[in-house]
A and B are shown apart, each in its own frame.
Chain A
Amino acid sequence: MSAIELLEKLGADSQFDKSQLTSEQINDLIKLSSDDEVVPPPMVHDTPDDEDEQEDKIVQ
């Protein structure tokens, strides 16, 4: 099982026993996690564009 599959299993399986992880698997997971970085969500927080405002039925 690859490290990413293991991470998926950890997230999905509530009964997964983490104590069964080998030290090699733990090291792989730690390396995976340390590689991760936060990404901004794809949203605009500035003034809605004209089309959005039309859909919102905004009365000026």
Chain B
Amino acid sequence: MSSKKGSIVVVSTGMTLGAHMTPRCRSYIEHADIVIGSNPPLVEQWLESINPNYQSLQGLYAKGKHRADTYREMVDTMMAAVREGKNVVGAFYGHAGVFAWAPHRVVKEARKEGYEAHMEAGVSAEDCLYADMGIDPGRVGSQHFETTQLMKYQRQIDPTAYLILWQVGLAGDTTVKRFSTGEAYRQVLVDLLSEHYPLEHQVAIYECPFTALDDMRIEWMALKNLPSAHVSLISTLVVPPSQKMVKNQTVLDKLAELDLQQEL
């Protein structure tokens, strides 16, 4: 255990306010010297009601500013408080370690400097998606990609599994400075996906509710209609499998041979 004063615990506040935060995460927030986070405004109000010493990182975002700079500043802000000897809690919505660079990086840097640091798990949008849409990712498998990354790099799409694309509202944003792209960018995504799926293939836009007053959104449409669909920063694209799994007879034969040997 480190004897250095100052520490950081990165906690996950979950997706739906009040419903998803674990008792352990709440306890860390209650007892922190300072809570620093990036969350929707309502969640920030809620966190402030739990610990009045809450500092929002939302002001670090700006249109036209490279988001990598924003995330670096988030880490620097949290580390500055740790170096002051404070017991810091970093609070991030959803699961703090899912699709989030800054929370992982601050834990890494704090440990490197000899401070106690760890992350607490939470409920992510992915968890909510499985429950709300009735999808078991173990049934035929599930591939997850950040949408722009899928578009920029040569990835292997498996149309026999679910394909889940995150941040579809930012599809094709190579500048990393915008908060939305548009129809023309989503058309490029559709062109890419149409190499693996029929244009009539049914896909869904999913959005998880942030409060118990909000409704979840599950909107089905043909793949070809995705460009004109309403999408936002919280939209996720769900592409069900379009093909059946094909047995790997070579491996099955090897396994059958092993089974025979073990019976002897």
Contact = CB atoms under 8 A, between A and B. Distances in A.
Given A10-B212, A45-B148, A45-B149, A39 B39 contact: yes
B204 interface: no
Contacts of A38: 40, 232-234
Interface residues of B, number: 47
B147 to A, nearest CB: 8
Nearest to B125: A41
A42 B18 contact: no
Contact of A39 (B40, B167, B214): B40
Interface in B67-115: 67-68, 70-71, 74, 92-94, 99-103
Given A8-B18, A45-B176, A37 B41 contact: yes
Size bin of chain A's contact surface: 20 to 34
Interface in A10-52: 10-12, 29, 32-33, 35-46
Contact of A45 (B17, B39, B146, B214): B146
Contacts of B93: 39, 41
- Which 4 A-B residue pairs are closest in the complex by CB-CB distance? A11-B18, A8-B18, A11-B19, A10-B212
Interface of A: 2, 4-5, 7-12, 29, 32-33, 35-46
Given A4-B46, A43-B99, A44-B176, 18 more contacts: A4-B45, A7-B213, A8-B49, A32-B42, A33-B214, A36-B210, A38-B233, A39-B233, A41-B99, A42-B38, A42-B74, A43-B101, A44-B68, A45-B149, A45-B167, A46-B68, A46-B152, A46-B176
